[in-house]
Amino acid sequence: MTVLEEEPVTLHDAPVRRLNMIEAINDALDIMLARDPDVVIMGEDVGYFGGVFRATAGLQKKHGKTRVFDTPISECGIIGVAVGMGAYGLRPVPEIQFADYIYPGLDQLVSEAARMRYRSAGEFISPMTVRSPFGGGIFGGQTHSQSPEALFTHVSGLKTVIPSTPHDAKGLLIAAIEDNDPVIFFEPKRIYNGPFTGNYDKPVEPWSKHPDSAVPEGYYRIPLGKARIVREGSAMTVLAYGTMIHVAEAVLAAKGVDAEIIDLRTLVPIDIGAVEKSVQKTGKVLVIHEATRTSGFGAELVALVQERCFYHLEAPIERVTGFDTPYPHSLEWAYFPGPVRIGEAVDRLLRN
């Protein structure tokens, strides 16, 4: 697992706008299309219609049909064409309409994109960024709600990125598009329009009320492999990403626990230095993710902490995850790691 040195976030003095995550992603794509003539966007309905979640709205009209175009309904074909484009100098940004649909393209991602640099001794690369909405929370059922990130973190040669705020979504997506290796860019659709806190009876507040909706205009990038300290604390370290960052924040605030929350942002490469530093300070660890428990990325986090911070641990590491079942439609809120299960894990850690 790659570990990067800490790098500064590259920003410039620019006015900011209040954007939701969809708007921030659209802004990043717009900037990269204008900035780099080799960037192309492709996928089902991404052109004329602007994508099922409207993340590419207006881009075809602005940049033309050769830069932003629709494809047949063939995920294997979409990824395969993107691999070829990347090998010959383009920077394709294919969209897979839902992460649940990505499996037909898995062979192209694993056998071709991830290995291109290595099998050609560096003569060819595969600088593609595969965007896809992922995760549950919108009653999409088994075929629109999966969180398959662990499958991709297992593949050497792929990078896996998951933003949790509009500010990060724009900066990370620009960095992903500029990266010379293939990147899986998963977008938590539950927080496209606002930070979900786990209160299922309350509408999601718009991003405009959240500080991380302040997105600088123009170009900026957030280096891959750099975690974000959401809040500092000393009672325990909480490791999460995507939607679960906001649920964890709400639970810990309600319980008044002085926990340190780390938003991993990129799973591969992972900022293990930030994790180690926090665990050495707190001595207790809570891992949260929405995906199924067995062989989920949380297991890798537990192993890394155990290997590197064993003598600093004061209690067994806790995991709160989805269940080892296909994603249920009618019981979605019970499947989601919510305030009750996260709160119980926090209480267990505090008692130790």
**Would you say 15 and 217 are in contact if contact means Cβ atoms under 8 Å apart?**
yes
306: which residues sit within 8 A by CB, 6+ positions away?
313, 317
Buried b (16+ CB within 10 A) or exposed e, 253-273: eeeebebbbbbbbbbbbbbbb
Q: Any residues with CB less than 8 A from the CB of 314 and at least 6 apart, and which?
A: 283, 284, 352
Which one-letter amino acid corresponds to residue 60? Answer: Q
Query: Tell me, what amino acid is at 133?
Result: P
Whether 329 is a known active-site residue: answer no
Take residue 132 and report the two structure tokens written for it. 């896809």
**160 C-beta neighbours (distance < 10 Å), count:** 24
Strands 260-263 and 237-240: parallel
Q: Counting Cβ atoms within 10 Å, is residue 177 exposed (0-12), middle (13-18) or buried (19+)?
A: buried
Of the listed 63, 144, 210, 246, which one is catalytic? Answer: 144
The C-alpha atoms of residue 102 and residue 104 are separated, in whole angstroms, by 6
Active-site residues, by number, are 144
